[in-house]
Structure 1
Amino acid sequence: MQGYNVILVYNMNLDKLLMCKRKKDPYKGLYNLVGGKIELGENGLNAAYRELYEETGISKGDIILKHLMDFKYYYQKCYVEVYVGKLQHNVNLVEEANELFWSDLNHDFFDMSIYAGEGNIGHMIEQVNMYKDIILGE
């Protein structure tokens, strides 16, 4: 079963979320979170830090990631690990494949015509909102 990760990266003020615009399928043209594949034998958290650095230039010294939840897709034979973190300081983003941008949080992240993931991005953000004090220490 192939593993993937997605990472919710909040800015220091917790009022913006890092997103990308997909240039290829799946979800071509839609907004998504950053993330990627977990390599065979790779620890999930290490994979999240690796993918985050490869796609954005954000390093382990810039953010502390916490494991938020997982999704398992039996018919697609894959699973997705979800991580979340708040930047410790300002960073200069480095784009790898997709255009990166900071999104305000006042959008309908459940809108599947704009956002990837069949509403999961909205669900993840709501989970963070519900447990922000515990997850991000706010």
Structure 2
Amino acid sequence: MQGYNVIMIYNKDMDRLLMCKRLKEPYLGLSNLVGGKIEPGEPGPEAAYRELREETGISAEDVSLRHLMDFTYYLQDCYVEVYVGKLKRDVIVSGDENELYWSDLERDFFDMALYAGEGNIGHMIEQVKMSREILFSD
């Protein structure tokens, strides 16, 4: 079963979320979270930090990631690990895989005409809102 990750990065004030505009399929042209493949034998958290660094330039020194949830897609023979983090300081993000941008949180993240993931991004954001004190208590 192939593993993937998606990484939700909030700015230090928790009022913006790092998104990317997809430059290729799947979800060409739609907004998405950053992430990628988990290599065989690679621990999930290690893969999340690797993908985050590769796609955005954000390092483990800039953010602590928490494992929020997983999605298992049995019919597609894959799973997705979801990680969330709040930046410790302002950082300049850069990457060439997709177009990166900071989104405010006053959006309809369930709108499948604008966002990848069949509504999952909206669901994940709501889960973060419900668990904010637990996730970011430090």
TM-score for the superposition, normalised by structure 2: 0.98
Q: Distance in 1 between matches of 2:134 and 2:7?
A: 17
Q: Distance in 1 between matches of 2:47 and 2:136?
A: 20
Structure 2's unaligned 5+ residue stretches are: none
Matches within 5 A, 1:42-121: 42-121=42-121
Shift of 1:136: 1.5
Cα RMSD after superposing both structures: 0.8
1:17 equivalent in structure 2? 17
Shift of 1:92: 1.1
Q: Distance in 1 between matches of 2:137 and 2:114?
A: 30
1:131 equivalent in structure 2? 131
Shift of 1:95: 1.3
The one-character-per-residue Cα deviations of 1:22-45 (angstroms, maximum 9, x if unpaired) are 000000000000000000000000
Contact 1:54 1:96 in 2 (8 A): no
Q: Distance in 2 between matches of 1:136 and 1:22?
A: 28
**Structure 1, 86-95 or 37-46: larger mean CA deviation:** 86-95
Shift of 1:137: 1.9
2:4 equivalent in structure 1? 4
Task: State the number of aligned residues.
Answer: 138
* Matched residue type, 1:137: S
Q: Distance in 2 between matches of 1:126 and 1:137?
A: 18
Contact 1:55 1:96 in 2 (8 A): yes
Q: Distance in 1 between matches of 2:6 and 2:106?
A: 20
* Matched residue type, 2:122: G
Structure 1's unaligned 5+ residue stretches are: none
1:40 equivalent in structure 2? 40
* Matched residue type, 2:131: Y
